[in-house]
Structure formats: C-alpha cells, structure tokens
Structure 1
Amino acid sequence: MSAAEQQPHHGAARSEEAATPQQRGGADLRRDLEAVLMVVDQPVAEYDLARAFDRPVDEIAAVLAGLSREYTEQGRGFDLRQVAEGWRFYTRPECAGIVEHFLKEGQEVRLTQAALETMAVVAYRQPVSRGRVSAVRGVNCDGVMRTLVLRGLIEEAGQDPESGAHLFRTTTYFLERLGLRDLDELPDLAPFLPDDIEGIDDTGEHAT
C-alpha cells in the first residue's frame, strides 16, 4: 500500500480522537456514561447527562436502561439503578452482606491515614458536606466518606438548606470507639484546621 493510500486511514484516526461527544458512536457513549457514573456520589438526572454529552434525552435514557439490563443479565456485583433523582451505580442487594463484612469487619482493625483525617474533619466541622471535607484535605474524599458511613462512624445529617448538599456527622458508635461521653471531650484540634474553611461552599469551592 502506498503512502498516499495510507494517509486517509491516519486522518480518520485523528478525526475519531478529536470527535465531539455528539459525534462519537454508541459504544463510546456507553463507555463514557459508565465512566461518569462511576465517579458521582449522587444520582444524576438523564437531562444533565444529555446536556453534558450533547445528546437527546431519549437516547441517554435508552442507553442507561440497556446498560442496567445488561448488568443484571450478566449477574454483575453492581447495579445501575434509576431512582427519583436520576441514575447511579449501587451494590447489588445480594452482595450487600459480603461488602458490609469486608468494610466493617475485615477492615476494622485499623483505619487508613486518609480515613482518620477525614473522620477528624467531620468530627470538628459537623454537620459538614463532602465538598467541605474534600476542601480541607485537598483531595476527593467521597470514597473514604462512604467507607466511614458503612463502618458506622459517620452518618447523614440532613441537607444544607441553601445548597442542598448532604451533610454528615459522627455517630454514637464513633464516641464509643474513642471512649468519649460526648463531642465536648474531643481534643482542641479546631485551631489547626484551615482558617478559610468557612469561606468554602458545599461544593468545595471558595465562595465569591
């Protein structure tokens, strides 16, 4: 094959790499939806996904429904589920026991440094959102927060009336594990937390 004959092939490859979301094929859309839904910590509405991918809402809904059916037919350990607020990955109900055992029993001997730091921020800033916890630590804390919830050390405490973000607080089990009667017995650690945390909104961004 001549160099001239090879050129269109390379051009097509470059065009595919530079394609916009609405130009990408169905397989790519399925893959990209999976990638996005793997990192969200709250259900995402079909409209928001459609806007992000510049695709019709009906197409997004059909792909999500198809993925959900596929995971069920394949017997995956996770489930793509539609709830009132949108779509999100969940642990399949029949796997909940082993997941809880792994997180709460098998890993109970020692918390990681990241978990200890995250739990400390919640303890001193509660009720606090995931965004603010992540802002204090400088890294995304969603996974660590979920682990602490599953271990019974923190729990949801309603929603922020202004932003709607979920708020978290420590539990009585947290007090029991630390041998405390109440939160007033916590060491005076608050002065060591960032001074500008009050200027950070519930998404983890500095308020304007």
Structure 2
Amino acid sequence: MPLIRCLGPIRLPSSYRQYMRVEAAHLKRRNAFDCHLQFDQELLPDPSYEDYEHLISRTHHFRNGEVVQVAKPLVCQRLTKQLAAFYGGRQHHLVMASVEMPVHTDQRDDQINSTVLLIPYQASHLHFLQVEDERRQLLPNRIYAFNHYREHALVYDCEFGSSSSSKPLSVLKVRFDRMAKNSRTNTQGTAS
C-alpha cells in the first residue's frame, strides 16, 4: 500500500484561496527579512466550537515595525461535508505556508487520527511530499492522504536549495478527531 495516496481533485472555497494567497505573501515577505525559510500554520475558526472568536484573525509583525492584521475565513461547512466522505470525525482545518520542511514526525495525540489530508492550493513543480522513502510531487487542487505519525518532509527539490526568492507552497492540512469505536461519523460535534 502506498504511503502517500492521491484521493482525487477538489476545489477549495474562494475564502480559503484568498486567505492562502495573503498568507503565502506574508511568509515570503518575512523570509525576505530573515533569509530563513520556515513554515507558518494557522487553525481556521469553527463556529461550532465555543470561544472560536479568538481565532478569527491573526497578526503579522514585520521587522520594520509594521503590524498587519488579517481576518481568517470560517471553516467551510460545504468542504467539511465533502471531506467527510473520506474520513469521519470532527475536522480541524489548518492553513500552512512553507517552502520546505525538514524530516519530522508530528507529535502523537490519541485524540487525532493518524491520517491527515493535504490539499495544495499553490505549489511549484519543485514541491514534493516525502513520507519515509516515498516521494510524490504535490499538484494544486488535489487531495493527498498520509500518516503524519510516520517520518515526513516537504521537499523543495532544487539543486541550489531554497532561498528567499523560492515560491512558497500554500496548502490546507485537515486533521480528524479519532472517533470512538461504534460511534457514527460526526463532523459537527461540540467543543469540550
């Protein structure tokens, strides 16, 4: 069985696409100052959670003293229903921007399913997802599934490496709460 599975095409909501463009631009701008490319990840607010209001915006601080506040889109219920066809459990939508990410494993959490979905919005032909010894080019508007508790990396496959001029990847990462045995699929639970 492959370590990285492509589950087919999908179109992200326009509110997600707009936010991802803005976040990729802010990451690129920060990296122009720092010359050190890192990833950025933000959880989108879900109105079905209590106290979701503290997640509705984020603030960027730049070295020149400029502060920019950006409104985040709410979790799209239409997209949540589409993705529920693949995996059950409450969904957490995280927007990520990065050029590359070294090999790592995500911290184990017994409440989170081991399989995550990645849906690239913007990617260059140099972006690859690597899970253990398997590597796959990331194409925009495709759903990729993999076990995030295995060693994985985001590879920018350029002979000169990455720089502040490298194109960042914009991707939606979807995590699923692990469902209790014998329970029905629940994509609209309440916050604990």
| TM-score (normalizing by structure 1) | 0.22
TM-score scaled to structure 2, two decimals? Answer: 0.24
Q: Which gives a bigger RCO, structure 1 or 2 (Cα 8 Å, sep 6+)?
A: 2
Structure number with bigger Rg: 1
More strand by share: 2
